[in-house]
C-alpha cells in the first residue's frame, strides 16, 4: 500500500507547472503531497514491525523489492491518460481502504480511517474530470477512449494481494479476497462508465506479470533514479 501511494504520488507531482490550468496545478500538487504522506504513514507502520526505517522503505530498496501495481509507474502521458489512471486507481483505493477498516490489525485500521477522509475527495475530483472528458465532443472524448484502451489491459495487478494473499485474508489483516475487491471496484466504476456512454471493457485479463511480486517496467528505473538523486550523493547522510 505504501509503494502504491509513493509511486502514484510521485507521478502526480510531475504535473506541477504542466497541468491544464492553475486550479489543476494546485490540485495535483495537493494530491501528490497527500499520497506521499499516506505512503509515509504505511511505511511507519512497517517500521514499527520490522525496525527498518520508513526512509529506507521509501528510498533504499531496488526495483524488484517494490510492490506497487505496474500501472502506477508508467509515464503520465497526456491529460486523458492521467485522468483515466487516477480515476481507476482512486476507485480501487476506496475499496481497499474500506476493507482495511475491518482489519484485525489496529494500526492499519486506524491509518485507513485517517486516509479515507482525504481519498474521498481525490476520487470525487477524478470522477468529475472523467465524466467531463467523456461528455465532451471530439478530441477530448476520443483521447479518453484511447487512454482507456491503452490502460485497461494493465490494471489487473491492482487487485493482486501478492504472495501472502491467503495469509492476509486468513488472519483478518484484510477482510476480502482479490476477486471480492475487484467486484466492489466494478460496482463503483461501471455505473460511471454507463453514465458516460462508455461500453464496459469487461474484466481485465490476468497479466503474466505483477508488480505485487516485484515485477516492474523500465519506467520504474527512471522513477527510482529521480527519487533517490539526492540520497545517492551520500547514502549514509542523516538529516
- Give one DSSP letter per residue of 11-27, joined into a string: HHHTTTTTSSSHHHHHH
Domain span at 163? 2-233
218 falls within a domain:
yes
Region for residue 214 given its phi and psi (left: phi exceeds 0; alpha: psi -120 to 50; beta: otherwise): left
Q: How far apart are the first and last CA of the chain?
A: 25
Q: Report the number of distinct structural domains present in the chain.
A: 1
In a domain, 29, yes or no: yes
Give a yes or no: residue 92 inside a domain.
yes
Q: Is residue 15 part of a domain?
A: yes
User: CATH no. for residue 172?
Assistant: 1.20.1260.10
Closest CA to 93 of 73, 116, 69, 70: 116
66 lies in a domain?
yes
Distance CA 192, CA 223 (A): 31
| Nearest C-alpha neighbor of 74 from the set 196, 233, 207 | 207
- In this structure, are residues 175 and 99 in contact, taking their beta carbons and an 8 Å threshold? yes
Task: Read off the pTM.
Answer: 0.95
Residue 71: count of CB within 10 angstroms of its CB: 25
- Give the separation between CA 137 and CA 7, rounded to whole angstroms: 32
| 238 within a domain of the structure (yes/no) | no
Contacts of 130 (CB under 8 A, 6+ apart): 83, 84, 87, 144, 192, 196
Identify whether 239 is part of a domain. no
| pLDDT single digits (tens) 107-164 | 999 999 999 999 999 999 999 999 999 999 899 999 999 999 999 999 999 999 999 9
Angle between helices 178-195 and 106-135 (to 10 degrees): 30
Query: Contact, 215 vs 209, CB < 8 A?
Result: yes
Q: What share of the chain is helix, strand, coil (3-state, %, to 5)?
A: 70, 0, 30
Per-residue pLDDT tens, the chain, 239 aa: give them: 999 999 999 999 999 999 999 999 999 999 999 999 999 999 999 999 999 999 999 999 999 999 999 999 999 999 999 999 999 999 999 999 999 999 999 999 999 999 999 999 999 999 999 999 999 989 999 999 999 999 999 999 999 999 999 999 999 999 899 999 999 999 999 999 999 999 999 988 776 789 999 999 999 999 999 998 888 887 776 66
| 93 in any annotated domain | yes
* Residue that the C-alpha cell 521509501 belongs to: 58
Amino acid at each position: 500500500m505504501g509503494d502504491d501511494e509513493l509511486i502514484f504520488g510521485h507521478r502526480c507531482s510531475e504535473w506541477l507547472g504542466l497541468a491544464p490550468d492553475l486550479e489543476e496545478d494546485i490540485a495535483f500538487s495537493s494530491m501528490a503531497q497527500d499520497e506521499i504522506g499516506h505512503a509515509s504513514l504505511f511505511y511507519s507502520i512497517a517500521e514499527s514491525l520490522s525496525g527498518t526505517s520508513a526512509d529506507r522503505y521509501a528510498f533504499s530498496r531496488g526495483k524488484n523489492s517494490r510492490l506497487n501495481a505496474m500501472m502506477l509507474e508508467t509515464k503520465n502521458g497526456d491529460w486523458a491518460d492521467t485522468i483515466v489512471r487516477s480515476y481507476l486507481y482512486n476507485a480501487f483505493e476506496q475499496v481497499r481502504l474500506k476493507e482495511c477498516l475491518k482489519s484485525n490489525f489496529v494500526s492499519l485500521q486506524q491509518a485507513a480511517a485517517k486516509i479515507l477522509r482525504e481519498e474521498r475527495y481525490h476520487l470525487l475530483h477524478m470522477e468529475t474530470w472523467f465524466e467531463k472528458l467523456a461528455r465532451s465532443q471530439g478530441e477530448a472524448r476520443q483521447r479518453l477512449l484511447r487512454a482507456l484502451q491503452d490502460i485497461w489491459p494493465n490494471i489487473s495487478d491492482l487487485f493482486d494481494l501478492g504472495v501472502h494473499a491467503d495469509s492476509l485474508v486468513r488472519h483478518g489483516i484484510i477482510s476480502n479476497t482479490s476477486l471480492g475487491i475487484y467486484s466492489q471496484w466494478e460496482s463503483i466504476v461501471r455505473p460511471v462508465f454507463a453514465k458516460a456512454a462508455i461500453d464496459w471493457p469487461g474484466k481485465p485479463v490476468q497479466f503474466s506479470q505483477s508488480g505485487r511480486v516485484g515485477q516492474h517496467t523500465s519506467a520504474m528505473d527512471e522513477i527510482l533514479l529521480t527519487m533517490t538523486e539526492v540520497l545517492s550523493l551520500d547514502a549514509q547522510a542523516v538529516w
